[in-house]
Homo-oligomer: A and B are copies of this chain.
């Protein structure tokens, strides 16, 4: 029994596999994409992805000559987020790594407040993740400006309303970075406290 459960537990014991889970939480991807985005060989990525599949954490579908992996349902997403949050709450190593990686804290907005400010037109919501992730699903009413293009496309954003940026989640640096740049441009800006996976899991309006 415990041996069988450990089959799933092993999915969480390798940083590489956790990185895949994090990527898959945003959008399904092919093996080659996952390998490229995580900077490892295709063969190695394939092995880890098969391990995730065997652990019941990833689903896979064949698409012609490629194979697309996705998280295996909401349950899998919930489990990954629970592990991530629990480790952030209890392990000093994770806190330290997060702080080093994210830099100075940036002011946040909660879900309710964001919804209210969007409804009243006081705020504009920007998704700063890569375009493909936006395409795979995003918060209702958000517009896509990937962080890499933000500088160049600053003109598209109003400077008389607050900008709220969001990205992959609370441990993703994109939104932090975006808020800093927006503030440097003289705009009022905050980041959404969560990212897209948390929003979706909470059953909030999405597209």
What residues of chain A have their CB less than 8 Å away from a CB belonging to chain B? 1-16, 18-19, 22, 55-57, 72-73, 75-76, 78-79, 82-84, 86-91, 93-94, 96-98, 101, 171
Q: Are A8 and B56 in contact (CB-based, < 8 A)? A: no
Contacting A9 at CB < 8 Å: which of B2, B4, B5, B12?
B12
Q: Are B89 and A7 in contact (CB-based, < 8 A)? A: no
Q: Which 8 A-B pairs have the closest CB atoms?
A: A9-B12, A56-B90, A13-B13, A2-B15, A8-B87, A4-B93, A4-B94, A2-B18
The prevalent SS among residues of A at the interface is helix
Q: Are B90 and A86 in contact (CB-based, < 8 A)? A: no
Q: Are A98 and B13 in contact (CB-based, < 8 A)? A: no
Instruction: Choose among A4, A89, A97 the residue with the greatest number of B CB atoms under 10 Å from its CB.
Output: A4
Q: Are B22 and A91 in contact (CB-based, < 8 A)? A: no
**Which chain B residues border A75 with CB–CB below 8 Å?**
86, 89-90
A5 CA to B91 CA in the complex, in Å? 8
- When C-beta atoms are compared, the residue in chain B nearest to A78 turns out to be B82
- When C-beta atoms are compared, the residue in chain B nearest to A18 turns out to be B2
